[in-house]
Chain A
Amino acid sequence: MDRVIPIITNNLDEYASGLLVTLQLVAISFVVAMVVGTLVASLRIAPATPLNWIGAFYVETFRNVPLLVLAIIFSAGLSRAGLSLGKMSAASAALGLYTAAYIAEAIRSGVSAVSKGQVEASLSLGFTYGQTMRQVILPQAFRTVIPPIGNLIIAMIKNSAIVAGSLIALDDILKIARVVNSRTFATNEAFFWAGVGYLLLTIPATIIVRRLEKRLAIKR
Chain B
Amino acid sequence: MGYLFDPANWEWVFAGRNFMFLVERFLNNIVLALITMALSLVLGLVIALLRISKNKVTSTVTGIWIDIWRNLPVLLILLYFGLALPQEVKEFWVDIAPGWLPPQIRDSGQVVASIIALTVYNSAVIAEIFRAGIQSLERGQGEAAAALGLPYWKAMRIVILPQGLRRMVPATVSQLITLTKDTSLVSILAIQELVAAGSIVNNTSGSPFVGVGVPAPILQVYIVVGAMFVVFNLALSLLSRRLEVRERKRAGDVETVTGLEDQISIKTV
Chain A residues with CB under 8 Å of chain B are 60-61, 63-70, 72-73, 76-78, 80-82, 102, 105-106, 148, 151-152, 154-155, 157-162, 165, 174, 177-178, 181, 187-188, 191, 194-195, 198-199, 202-203, 206
Q: Which residues of B contact A105 (CB under 8 A)?
A: 260
Complex interface residues of chain B between 163 and 193 (CB less than 8 A to chain A): 177, 181-182, 184-185, 187-188
Find out whether the CB atom of A181 lies under 8 angstroms from the CB atom of B71: no
The interface residues of chain A lying within 8 Å CB-to-CB of B177 are 64
User: Residue B204 at the A interface, CB < 8 A?
Assistant: no
Please determine whether A198 and B261 come into contact, CB atoms closer than 8 angstroms.
no
Shortest beta-carbon distance, B75 to chain A, in Å? 4
| C-alpha gap A144/B75 in the complex (Å) | 31
Offer 21 A-B interface pairs, CB within 8 angstroms, sorted by A.
A60-B230, A63-B233, A64-B177, A65-B229, A66-B182, A69-B226, A72-B195, A73-B226, A82-B3, A102-B260, A155-B262, A158-B71, A160-B73, A161-B73, A162-B185, A174-B76, A177-B79, A194-B76, A195-B80, A199-B68, A203-B71
Give Cα distance in the complex from A64 to B184, angstroms.
12
Tell yes or no: B58 within 8 A of A by CB.
no
Q: Which single residue of chain A is at the shortest CB-CB distance from B221? A: A77
Name the residue on A nearest B9 (C-beta).
A81
Query: Could you tell me the dominant secondary structure of chain B's interface residues?
Result: helix
A106 to chain B, nearest CB (A): 8
State in angstroms the CA–CA spacing of A61 and B80 once bound together. Answer: 30
Least CB distance, B203 to chain A, in whole angstroms: 12
One of B67, B80, B198 near A203 (C-beta < 8 A): B67
Find out whether the CB atom of B71 lies under 8 angstroms from the CB atom of A198. Answer: yes
Q: Pick the contact of A155: B182, B230, B261 (CB < 8 A).
A: B261
What's the Cα separation between A107 and B50 when bound, in Å? 35
Which A residues are in CB contact (< 8 Å) with B195? 66, 68-69, 72
- Give chain A nearest CB distance to B198 CB in angstroms: 8
Known: A148-B263, A151-B263. A199 touches B72 (CB 8 A): yes
Min distance, Cβ A25 to any Cβ of chain B, angstroms: 12
A198 to B77 alpha-carbon distance, docked (Å): 12
Most buried by B among A102, A174, A178, A195: A195
CA distance in complex: A194, B59 (Å) = 27
State which of A67, A80, A162, A191 has its C-beta within 8 Å of the C-beta of B80: A191
- Whether the pair A65, B4 counts as a contact (CB closer than 8 A) is no
User: How far is the CB of A109 from the nearest CB of chain B, in Å?
Assistant: 9
Task: List residues of chain B with CB within 8 A of the CB of A181.
Answer: 83
Q: Are B217 and A80 in contact (CB under 8 A)?
A: yes
Residues A81 and B84 in contact, CB atoms below 8 Å apart: no
Bound-state Cα–Cα, A175 to B256, Å: 39
Q: Tell which of A68, A77, A159, A160 touches B187, judged by Cβ atoms closer than 8 Å.
A: A68
